[in-house]
Amino acid sequence: MNILITGCNGQLGNELQLLEAKYQQHTFFNTDVNELDITNQLAVDDYVFRNQIDCVINCAAYTAVDKAEEQKELCTTLNTVAPSYLAAAVEKRGGCMIQISTDYVFDGTHSTPYVETDTPAPNSVYGCTKLAGELGVTKFCKKSIVIRTAWLYSTFGNNFVKTMLRLGRERKELGVVADQIGSPTYAADLAAAIMTIVEKGVKPGVYHYTNEGVASWYDFTKAIHRMAGIKDCNVKPIHTSDYPTAATRPAYSVLDKKKITDDYQLTIPHWEEALQRCMDSLLNQ
């Protein structure tokens, strides 16, 4: 297949590129904004037609959650409009699409893991635009999959793991939110799952994927510091109310993964094991 990867310079896009050597039977077209402006419908149609794209993996998104509250128009263009353009273009070729979405489509009021059939109720601009993007992709491309993920990190780009490593080395004390619960997700594991789906064939619908297990941001930070051997920084648990942000975060956004493990025979690593692999890579850089 000819596979288009958008947002190739991001965390997930970079992780997918690392896997391409394993899948030499496919031809990959790695694009970011300089190679393809996905907000330009004519450009998208032309690129997909000219390169005979069979599958789109859309990793491009507006992800600055707090800034999105002010930059609603830009966020909507990237997270809602552009995915629809990609979906419509690849549909004309009879192709498939994998759209990456987020736990922020839920309001976080559950006390048990969210399943794919739970009714979304986003309470941020980011969450609303990502949900609208899901609906657009499934509307315009019959063979499309939406994968909701959460708390993504990798050795690439800016992310929570790198920030906590830096702050742990710079500061004697750190307050980290302890009343938001989710599942940290190593982008390398998500990338591997995506390529398994490509190989086994797209079964249209919504899927959830994160690493196994649950943690608070505080637990996550403590694990990062322990694995990095950071001992001189006192990490204190704080409440969400102690750290006000422009966008509301879900207090509980654990995603149930039974559907994706059943349909694609995936074995999902625990978040601490995944974090250790990422930390080993980071500390060896």
Q: The tokens 């422009």 sit on which residue? A: 246
Task: Check if 62 is active-site.
Answer: no
CA distances from 124 to 110, 244, 251 (A): 17, 14, 13
Extract the tokens encoding 29: 């077209």
CA dihedral over 163, 164, 167, 168, signed as positive or negative: negative
Nearest to 6 by CA among 141, 94, 97, 103: 97
Q: Which of 47, 85, 104, 126 is catalytic?
A: 126
| Residue 11 CA, distance from chain mean position | 8
Nearest to 80 by CA among 129, 137, 146: 129
Q: Cβ–Cβ contacts within 10 Å for residue 244, how many? A: 6
Task: Name all contacts of 155-160 with Cβ < 8 Å and 24+ positions apart.
Answer: 155/278, 155/281, 155/282, 155/285, 156/10, 156/11, 156/14, 156/15, 156/187, 157/9, 157/10, 157/11, 157/14, 159/11, 160/184, 160/217, 160/220
Strands 234-238 and 173-177, bridge-based pairing: parallel
CA distances from 221 to 115, 264, 270 (A): 27, 31, 16
Task: Report, as residue numbers or ranges, the catalytic residues.
Answer: 126
